[in-house]
Amino acid sequence: MKLSREEVKHLALLVRLGINEEETERFREQLSNILENFQILQQVDTTDVPPTAHAIALENVLREDEPGSSLPVVDVLANAPSQEEGYFMVRAVLE
């Protein structure tokens, strides 16, 4: 399971994670090694075995739709890197 530098860069792009050249090489090596180890899973016969997403599964969790109070806008915006007139400021998406 050997990853190429291009594959590593592609993964980083998928999640918009900035990594430098040195990290690219380190992750290429480490992820290749980890995935190599994980090949062990292919030995397990999982024919007709359904996947488990939650070990203690609850289904159809319902509650009354009651109006409640929200957090004050000023409190929520207190952590915003940039804000204006009660809104989060974002960079232009389309330029």
Partner 1 sequence: MDLCQSTIHQAAELLRRREVSSVELTRAVLDRIEKVDSRVRAFVTITEDMALEQAKEADRRISDGTAALLTGIPAAIKDNMCTRGIRTTCSSRMLENFVPPYDATVVERLHAAGMVMVGKTNMDEFAMGSSNEHSAFFPTYNPWDLSRVPGGSSGGSAVSVATDATIYAIGSDTGGSIRQPAGFCSVVGLKPTYGRVSRYGLVAFASSLDQIGPLTKDVTDCALVMNVIAGHDSRDSTSLPYPVPDYTESLVPDLKGVRLGVPKEYFVEGMQPEVAQAIRSATVVLEELGATVDWDVSLPHTRYGLAAYYIIAPSEASANLARYDGVKYGFSVKEAENMWDAMEKTKGNGFGPEVKRRIMLGTYALSAGYYDAYYLKALRVRTLIRREFEEALKTVDALVTPTSPTVPFKIGEKLDDPIQMYLSDVCTLPINIAGVPGISVPAGFADGLPIGMQIIGRPLGEEVLLRVAYAYEQATDWHKRKPPL
**Range 12-51, binding partner 1 (CB under 8 A):** 12, 14-20, 23, 27, 30-31, 33-35, 37-38, 40-44, 46, 49-51
State the number of binding residues for partner 1 (CB under 8 A): 51
Distance between CA atoms of residues 76 and 27, nearest Å? 36
Q: What share of the chain is helix, strand, coil (3-state, %, to 5)?
A: 40, 5, 55
70 binds partner 1 per the rule CB under 8 A: no
58 binds partner 1 per the rule CB under 8 A: yes
Quick one: 46 or 85, whose CB is closer to partner 1? 46
Strands (E), 18-67: none
90 binds partner 1 per the rule CB under 8 A: yes
Q: In the structure encoding, which two tokens stand for residue 51, read together?
A: 């996947």
